[in-house]
């Protein structure tokens, strides 16, 4: 139908708001509070509809749609049937019920069927089919008994509701097929924990409810005589619906216990959440209002069909652009789906008499789709799906070069004079701390290969330059009163600790004091708080850390030569002139004794910089693989940049894929910057890393040569490590997903594998979609849980039923040892495996003091925690030749055993060279020298000048 400019603007607003919402809701802080968010969005939308009604004379249909002349002439009215009185309360009830279905589906989203919503237009077309009333045209002309049969068939084909229904089914089925192209996450649907059939059933029920609500809305709004009355009717329905949702929200809040006890609200979450509510509310309001105006000008089917078509055509074009990558292994299927969607929608525009599609004429859209299909076909034919070299070949070579470059950069200084100059060059002109010469002599005596590169120390301590010394001391006093905190006192050249009652904790502090005693005479007096638990505890919002870092970077010793540093930086005038005064904010008691997994993920998001993917909200889509999340740190399917992988801020999906994020935080969690030293942390935390010897780790020499080990990829975890089990940790925990992938994969689970082929007389490689069970066959995976004690608690019994237990095995008897984090810390066997003749296959999110010294693909094989490249990576080293068939053919890929042996040797040699006990002492000496200056009242004037 022809449209005026205002009507076209309405359709543009509809489509723009729909696309924006579809893209932004992938990660959103509103998802964590579904009922509250629904209430606020509905209330904002209803209010916006009332406000829009005040400007109704500039909107479509301002003069009403009743055409009395048309009725008098006997022409067909475009009005639907008159609505019944019970429609409005029924709409309100159905919307509330539909939102509850959405919440339920999202709780088990990994079990949801993808693309079900694409059939909403089919239901609306079915309604039109059964409610179709043929047009009765009154004419004084006699009927032509000898009309043209072809012309009659053409008219019937265009006007028949069967054609409309067929075309709708055709393009909707094409949109549904697009869902098959989306790779799936390893977050799995359990037969014990989830009810997958129920989830799919209520998905379909939700689509039926959507159709009913759309039809009722169409009939109610269409019989409103003016745009003002339509918008006010819409606003009233939305506000009344928001009241119903708020009643449910308050009821659930009253019935449930508070998730976090004994604290005031977290800083930053409220402002971020309400900003998202306001911005999203504007988009939802635009979508509701434009939809209401559009359906009154046409039918409920038209905007729904265009939205479905837009989603499908964009997704299919994206699939075409990914042809030849691990995300899209087939070149023909995306083209077929693109053609089905295009042909089906073009037929739909004719059968629905749509001359304009948003702002495009029908002919122009048809020509555009033809051009897209032709261009996609050419692109698919030209795009090579074959690789001349295996990506791991290049990764091993490049990282070997990078390891040599790193070592040269870490060992520039051969004399004290060069070491001082190098320090100043790397620290913006700042002099080294006092007794730097003693440290340099100590490092030389210990034969340390790392002299100049201590970036981790600099990153850890830099924010504390923005705190006053009094604040640091206050933070230390807070820590002294907390459990599981060890205090090491250094005074008069001697180190002692506070003698904790736990023997393991006492042994850890004994070892630390023993190391410090070798250089304690060169340290200033200080007290150091040590975190004796595995999990880090200081999680400061990024905004606070940034302010402190900027405040510390403005001190004058970085800008003036040493001779000009006689005045104190805390001079009154200078302090008043400093625009960043975060260092003077008093320390609060923002400490949480218990934090639920959901709130913990929110706090981690606040630790990321504004504009980062994680700051925008936690990724709620646990079913689908997040390819944008891995792109910054990956080369194709394989992990390339280990340092970037450890940063969670660009990969919000990782918050659903690790036990650290999916289990509650049971210890004190601090949002103030406190001087706490920990053995490990993730990049979100602000603990200071310190070398500590874990009392449970015992290193025995590995006397078995690499060639004599079993050709097996081995991992075994103790069930006792899962002390806290939640549905999220069972289904998304990094250890549980690995065991499920190897042992419990379903018949429909697929993985993309890089397989060898023979083409043009040369060996080449190509990504192919493979059933997980079939991919597991040739690869010797042995992943399991073990439990030495009888299962008595419910958590242990659930693990046993879901995964089963096996007898304990010896990891170092195998060539490849998979190293996974515990729920609270890094892999406990990382250093023993590095010092062995086995290949460390590492999947971790934690840092330790030596992490920056390890190079992926040189000292260990890196594996992304999503495990999407596990099969391809291990097939490179182990080989697939003579190990059975995959995808119906024998495989040609030979194993790179020599590369695996080389990585095992390099890891062992480097650990014996740069991660010794002596290196721990050198690192700790340097760390405590830097810390001693930071806590000194005269720190801005302290420095070593040769």
Answer whether residue 6 shows pLDDT above 70: no
Instruction: Return d(Cα 450, Cα 849) in angstroms, integer.
Output: 13
259 — pLDDT class (breaks 50, 70, 90): very low
> In the chain, pLDDT over 90 holds for what percent of residues?
64
Higher-confidence position of 342 and 353: 342
What integer pLDDT is reported at residue 3 of this predicted model?
52
Strands 669-670 and 676-678: unpaired
Instruction: Return d(Cα 262, Cα 594) in angstroms, integer.
Output: 9
Tokens of 802: 């879901």
Tell me how many degrees the CA angle 246-248-249 measures, rounded to the nearest 5: 60
Using the structure block, give the residue that is written with the tokens 């900027």: 550
Single pTM value for the model: 0.89
Tell me how many degrees the CA angle 804-805-808 measures, rounded to the nearest 5: 160
Q: Which residues pair with 224 in a beta bridge?
A: none
The phi and psi torsions of 413 (rounded to 5 degrees) equal: -85, 130
Give the side-chain half-sphere CA count within 13 A for 397: 6
Q: What is the mean pLDDT of residues 233-256?
A: 88
What integer pLDDT is reported at residue 731 of this predicted model?
92
What integer pLDDT is reported at residue 226 of this predicted model?
85
Instruction: Name, in order, each residue with C-beta under 8 angstroms of 264's C-beta and a sequence gap of 6 or more.
Output: 590
Tell me how many degrees the CA angle 667-668-670 measures, rounded to the nearest 5: 140
Answer whether residue 868 shows pLDDT above 90: yes
Tokens of 299: 């039918």
Q: How does pLDDT run across 422-468, given as a tens digit for each residue?
A: 999 999 889 999 999 999 999 999 999 999 999 999 999 999 999 99
Contact 889, 871 (CB under 8 A): no
> Which range, of 71-75, 767-771, 877-881, averages the lowest pLDDT?
71-75
Instruction: Return d(Cα 884, Cα 889) in angstroms, integer.
Output: 8
933-to-467, 819, 936 alpha-carbon distances in Å: 13, 37, 5
Average pLDDT, the chain: 87
What integer pLDDT is reported at residue 761 of this predicted model?
79
> In the chain, pLDDT over 70 holds for what percent of residues?
87
Instruction: Name, in order, each residue with C-beta under 8 angstroms of 431's C-beta and a sequence gap of 6 or more.
Output: 420, 423, 424, 557, 562, 943, 944, 945
Max mean pLDDT among 90-94, 747-751, 763-767 falls in 90-94
Closest-CA residue to 734 (of 828, 681, 660):
660
What integer pLDDT is reported at residue 159 of this predicted model?
60
Answer whether residue 533 shows pLDDT above 60: yes
> Which range, of 45-49, 527-531, 616-620, averages the lowest pLDDT?
616-620
Closest-CA residue to 80 (of 212, 217, 219, 213):
219
Q: Which residues pair with 26 in a beta bridge?
A: none
Answer whether residue 565 shows pLDDT above 50: no
Tokens of 266: 């977290």
Distance of CA 828 to the CA centre of its chain: 26
Q: What is the mean pLDDT of residues 813-834?
A: 94
Tokens of 252: 């659930």
Answer whether residue 597 shows pLDDT above 80: yes
What integer pLDDT is reported at residue 580 of this predicted model?
38
What integer pLDDT is reported at residue 152 of this predicted model?
58
Answer whether residue 759 shows pLDDT above 50: yes
Max mean pLDDT among 178-187, 296-305, 759-768, 836-845 falls in 836-845
Q: How does pLDDT run across 882-940, given as a tens digit for each residue?
A: 898 999 899 888 999 999 999 999 999 999 999 999 999 999 999 999 999 999 999 98
Answer whether residue 255 shows pLDDT above 70: no
Give the side-chain half-sphere CA count within 13 A for 652: 25
H/E stretch holding 487: strand 485-491
Q: How does pLDDT run across 655-675, given as a tens digit for each residue?
A: 999 999 998 888 789 999 999
76 — pLDDT class (breaks 50, 70, 90): very low
Higher-confidence position of 908 and 580: 908
Q: How does pLDDT run across 17-51, given as a tens digit for each residue?
A: 999 998 887 766 788 788 889 999 999 999 999 99
Instruction: Name, in order, each residue with C-beta under 8 angstroms of 406's C-beta and a sequence gap of 6 or more.
Output: 453, 855
Contact 604, 541 (CB under 8 A): no
Tokens of 255: 């019935």
The phi and psi torsions of 262 (rounded to 5 degrees) equal: 65, 50
Higher-confidence position of 473 and 8: 473
What integer pLDDT is reported at residue 638 of this predicted model?
96
Instruction: Return d(Cα 679, Cα 660) in angstroms, integer.
Output: 16
Answer whether residue 144 shows pLDDT above 90: no
Q: What is the mean pLDDT of residues 592-608?
A: 84
Instruction: Name, in order, each residue with C-beta under 8 angstroms of 185's C-beta and a sequence gap of 6 or more.
Output: 110, 622, 623, 624, 625, 626, 653, 657, 866
Higher-confidence position of 266 and 766: 766
Cα Dmax for the chain: 118
What integer pLDDT is reported at residue 134 of this predicted model?
55
Instruction: Return d(Cα 638, Cα 753) in angstroms, integer.
Output: 11
> Which range, of 175-189, 579-593, 807-821, averages the lowest pLDDT?
579-593
14-to-224, 304, 354, 573 alpha-carbon distances in Å: 21, 10, 17, 57
873 — pLDDT class (breaks 50, 70, 90): very high
Contact 769, 841 (CB under 8 A): no
Instruction: Return d(Cα 850, Cα 410) in angstroms, integer.
Output: 13
Under DSSP, the state recorded for 717 is: E
Q: How does pLDDT run across 492-501, given as a tens digit for each residue?
A: 999 999 888 8
- CA dihedral for 236, 240, 241, 242, sign (positive or negative): positive
Instruction: Name, in order, each residue with C-beta under 8 angstroms of 195's C-beta and a sequence gap of 6 or more.
Output: 108, 111
Q: How does pLDDT run across 776-787, given as a tens digit for each residue?
A: 999 999 999 998
Instruction: Return d(Cα 522, Cα 309) in angstroms, integer.
Output: 72
Q: How does pLDDT run across 309-327, given as a tens digit for each residue?
A: 999 999 999 999 999 899 9
Tokens of 622: 């646990």
Instruction: Return d(Cα 135, Cα 544) in angstroms, integer.
Output: 69
What integer pLDDT is reported at residue 599 of this predicted model?
84
Residues 586-596 as b or e (16 or more Cβ within 10 Å = b): ebeebbbebbb
Higher-confidence position of 821 and 747: 821
- CA dihedral for 490, 492, 498, 503, sign (positive or negative): positive
Higher-confidence position of 4 and 772: 772
Max mean pLDDT among 132-141, 258-267, 752-761 falls in 752-761
Instruction: Return d(Cα 703, Cα 709) in angstroms, integer.
Output: 10
Higher-confidence position of 385 and 405: 405
258 — pLDDT class (breaks 50, 70, 90): very low
Contact 238, 46 (CB under 8 A): yes
Under DSSP, the state recorded for 111 is: G
């Amino acid at each position: 139908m022809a449209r005026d400019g205002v009507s076209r603007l309405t359709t543009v607003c509809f489509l723009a708001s729909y696309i924006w919402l579809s893209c932004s809701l992938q990660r959103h802080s509103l998802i964590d509070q579904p009922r509250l968010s629904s209430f606020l969005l509905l209330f904002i939308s209803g209010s916006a509809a009332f406000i829009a009604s005040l400007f109704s004379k500039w909107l479509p249909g301002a003069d009403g749609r009743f055409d009395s002349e048309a009725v008098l002439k006997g022409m067909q009215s475009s009005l639907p049937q008159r609505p019944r009185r019970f429609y409005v309360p029924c709409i309100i009830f159905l919307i509330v019920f539909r939102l509850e279905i959405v919440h339920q589906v999202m709780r088990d989203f990994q079990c949801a069927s993808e693309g079900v919503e694409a059939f909403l237009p089919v239901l609306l077309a079915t309604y039109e089919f059964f409610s179709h009333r043929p047009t009765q045209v009154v004419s004084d002309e006699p009927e032509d008994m000898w009309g043209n049969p072809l012309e009659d068939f053409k008219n019937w084909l265009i006007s028949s509701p069967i054609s409309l229904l067929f075309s709708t089914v055709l393009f909707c089925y094409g949109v549904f097929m697009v869902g098959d192209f989306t790779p799936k996450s390893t977050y799995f649907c359990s037969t014990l924990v989830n009810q997958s059939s129920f989830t799919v059933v209520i998905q379909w029920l939700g689509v039926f409810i959507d159709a009913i609500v759309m039809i009722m809305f169409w009939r109610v709004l269409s019989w409103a005589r003016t745009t003002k009355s339509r918008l006010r009717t819409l606003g009233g329905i939305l506000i009344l619906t928001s009241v119903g949702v708020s009643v449910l929200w308050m009821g659930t809040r009253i019935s449930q216990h508070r998730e976090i006890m004994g604290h005031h609200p977290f800083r930053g979450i409220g402002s971020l959440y309400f900003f998202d509510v306001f911005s999203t509310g504007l988009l939802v309001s635009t979508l509701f209002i434009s939809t209401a105006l559009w359906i009154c000008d046409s039918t409920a089917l038209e905007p729904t069909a265009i939205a479905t078509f837009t989603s499908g055509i964009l997704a299919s074009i994206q699939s075409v652009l990914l042809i030849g990558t691990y995300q899209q292994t087939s070149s023909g299927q995306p083209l077929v789906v693109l053609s089905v969607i295009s042909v089906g929608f073009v037929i739909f525009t004719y059968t629905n008499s749509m001359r304009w599609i948003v702002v495009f004429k029908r002919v122009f859209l048809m020509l555009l789709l033809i051009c897209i299909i032709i261009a996609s076909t050419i692109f698919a034919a030209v795009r090579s799906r074959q690789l001349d070299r295996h990506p791991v070949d290049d990764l091993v070579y490049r990282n070997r070069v990078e390891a040599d470059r790193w070592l040269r950069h870490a060992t520039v200084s051969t004399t004290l004079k060069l070491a001082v100059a190098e320090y100043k060059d790397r620290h913006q002109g700042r002099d080294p701390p006092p007794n730097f010469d003693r440290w340099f002599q100590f490092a030389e005596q210990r034969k340390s290969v790392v002299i100049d590169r201590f970036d981790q120390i600099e990153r850890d301590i830099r924010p504390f330059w923005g705190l006053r010394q009094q604040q640091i001391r206050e933070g230390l006093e807070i820590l002294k009163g907390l459990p599981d905190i060890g205090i090491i006192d250094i005074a008069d050249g001697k180190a002692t600790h506070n003698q904790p009652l736990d023997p393991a904790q006492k042994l850890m502090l004994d070892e630390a004091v023993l190391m410090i005693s070798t250089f304690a005479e060169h340290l200033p007096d200080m007290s150091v708080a040590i975190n004796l638990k595995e999990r880090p505890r200081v999680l400061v919002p990024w905004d606070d850390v940034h302010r402190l870092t900027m405040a510390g970077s403005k001190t004058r010793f970085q800008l003036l030569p040493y001779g000009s540093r006689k005045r104190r930086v805390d001079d009154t005038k200078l302090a008043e002139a400093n625009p960043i005064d975060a260092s003077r904010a008093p320390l609060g008691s923002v400490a949480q004794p218990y934090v639920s997994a959901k709130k913990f993920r929110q706090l981690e998001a606040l630790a990321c910089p504004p504009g980062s993917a994680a700051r925008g909200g936690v990724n709620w889509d646990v079913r689908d693989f997040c390819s944008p999340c891995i792109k910054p740190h990956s080369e194709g399917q394989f992990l390339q940049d280990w340092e970037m992988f450890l940063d969670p801020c660009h990969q919000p999906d990782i918050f659903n894929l690790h036990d650290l994020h999916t289990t509650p935080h049971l210890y004190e969690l601090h949002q103030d910057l406190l001087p706490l030293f920990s053995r490990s942390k993730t990049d979100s935390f602000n603990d200071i890393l310190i070398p500590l010897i874990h009392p449970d780790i015992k290193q025995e020499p590995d006397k078995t040569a690499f060639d004599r080990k079993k050709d097996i990829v081995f991992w075994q975890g103790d069930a006792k490590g899962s002390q806290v089990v939640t549905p999220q940790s069972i289904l998304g925990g990094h250890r549980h997903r690995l065991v499920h992938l190897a042992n419990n994969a379903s018949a429909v689970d697929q993985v993309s594998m890089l397989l060898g082929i023979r083409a043009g007389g040369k060996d080449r490689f190509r990504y192919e979609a493979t059933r997980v069970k079939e991919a597991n066959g040739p690869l010797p995976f042995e992943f399991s849980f073990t439990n030495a004690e009888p299962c008595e608690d419910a958590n242990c019994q659930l693990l046993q039923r879901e995964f089963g237990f096996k007898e304990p095995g010896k990891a170092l008897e195998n060539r490849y040892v998979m190293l996974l984090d515990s729920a609270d810390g890094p892999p406990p066997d990382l250093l023993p495996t590095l010092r062995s003749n086995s290949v460390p296959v590492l999947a971790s999110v934690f840092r330790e003091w030596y992490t920056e010294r390890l190079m992926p693909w040189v000292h260990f094989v890196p594996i992304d925690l999503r495990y999407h490249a596990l099969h391809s990576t291990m097939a490179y080293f182990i080989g697939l030749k003579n190990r059975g068939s995959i995808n119906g053919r024998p495989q040609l890929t030979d194993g790179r055993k020599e590369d695996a042996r080389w990585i095992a040797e390099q890891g062992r040699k480097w650990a014996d060279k740069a991660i010794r006990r002596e290196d721990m002492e050198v690192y700790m000496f340097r760390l405590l020298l830097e810390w001693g200056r930071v806590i000194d009242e005269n720190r801005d004037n302290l420095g070593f000048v040769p």
